[in-house]
Amino acid sequence: MTKTPALSRRTILKASGLAVVASSLGRAEAIAQAGGRRVTVAMPVSPRVLEPVREVSNVLFRTAYNIFDTLITVDYRDGARLKPGLATAWRRTEPRVLELDLRDGVRFHNGDVLTAEDVAFTFGPERVADAKAPGHALSRPFLGTIERVEAIGQRQVRVVTRAPDPLIEQRLAGWAGQIVSKRAFLAAPAFEAWEKAPVGTGPFAVAEFKVDQHLLLKAHDAYWGGAPTVREVLFRVVPELASRLNALSTGEADIITELSPDHFRSVEAMSGCEIAGGPIQNIRVLAYDKHHPVLADVRIRQALGLAIDRKAIVDALYGGRTTVPPGHQNPTYGDLYMPDYPAPGFDPDKARALVKAAGYAGQPIPYRILPNYYTLQLQTAQILVEMWRNVGLSIDLQVRENVGAVVNPPEGRGIRDWSNTIFWNDPAGVLVRLFGPNGPTQRVYKEWSNAEFNEKAAVLASSLNTAERKAAFRRMLEIFDTEDPAGTVLHDLTMFYGKRKDVPWHPYPIEYMDFRAANMG
What DSSP string runs through 464-496? --HHHHHHHHHHHHHIIIIIS-SEEEEEEEEEE
The per-residue pLDDT for 405 is 79
- For the segment 97-101, the average pLDDT, to the nearest whole number, is 99
Which residues lie across from 505 on neighbouring strands?
520
Q: How confident is the model at residue 402 (pLDDT cuts 50, 70, 90)?
A: confident
Strands 487-500 and 255-256: antiparallel
Query: Span 471-495, mean pLDDT?
Result: 98
Least confident of 32-36, 106-110, 303-307: 32-36
What is the chain's length? 521
Q: What is the pLDDT of residue 167?
A: 95
**How large is the average pLDDT for residues 476-501?**
98
Kind plus residue range of the DSSP H or E element containing 402 = none
What average pLDDT does range 447-475 have in this prediction?
97
Indicate whether 220 pLDDT > 80: yes
| pLDDT (0 to 100) of residue 186 | 98
Mean pLDDT of the chain: 92
Residue 36's pLDDT is what? 62
Give the integer Cα–Cα distance in Å for 402 and 415: 16
Find the mean pLDDT for residues 474-501: 98
The larger pLDDT score, comparing residue 15 to residue 436, is at 436
pLDDT of 445 higher than 60:
yes
pLDDT in tens, 126-148: 999 999 999 999 999 999 999 99
Sheet with 415-421, edge to edge strand ranges: 204-210, 214-219, 232-237, 38-43, 255-256, 487-500, 273-288, 415-421, 365-369, 395-399
Give the confidence band of 25 by pLDDT, cuts at 50, 70, 90: very low
Cβ count near 17 (within 10 Å): 13
pTM over 0.95: no
Of 19, 450, 520, residue with least CA distance to 245:
19
Query: What pLDDT score was predicted for residue 521?
Result: 78
For residue 7, pLDDT beyond 60 = no
DSSP label of 112: P
Residue 12 has pLDDT above 80, yes or no: no
Q: What is the rounded CA–CA span in Å between residue 471 and residue 385?
A: 35
Q: What is the percentage of the chain residues whose pLDDT exceeds 70?
A: 93
Contact in structure between 501 and 336 (CB atoms under 8 Å): no
Q: Give one word for 105, left, alpha or beta, with left for phi > 0 and alpha for psi -120 to 50.
A: left
* Selected residue with higher pLDDT from 229 and 407: 229
- Kindly state the average pLDDT of the residues 10-28: 37
Better-scored residue on pLDDT, 28 or 156: 156
Burial class (CB in 10 A: 0-12, 13-18, 19+), 78: exposed
Percent composition of the chain: helix, strand, coil (DSSP 3-state, to 5) = 30, 20, 45
Rounded-to-integer distance, Cα 159 and Cα 182, Å: 18
pLDDT for the residue numbered 411: 78
Q: In the chain, what are the domains?
A: 38-67+202-254+511-519 (3.40.190.10), 72-186 (3.90.76.10), 279-494 (3.10.105.10)
- Whether the pLDDT of residue 9 is over 70: the answer is no
Q: Per-residue confidence at 302, pLDDT binned at 50, 70, 90?
A: very high
Binned at pLDDT 50, 70 and 90, residue 14 comes out as very low
Instruction: Examine the pLDDT at 337 and tell me if it is beyond 80.
Output: yes
Cα radius of gyration rounded to whole Å, the chain = 23
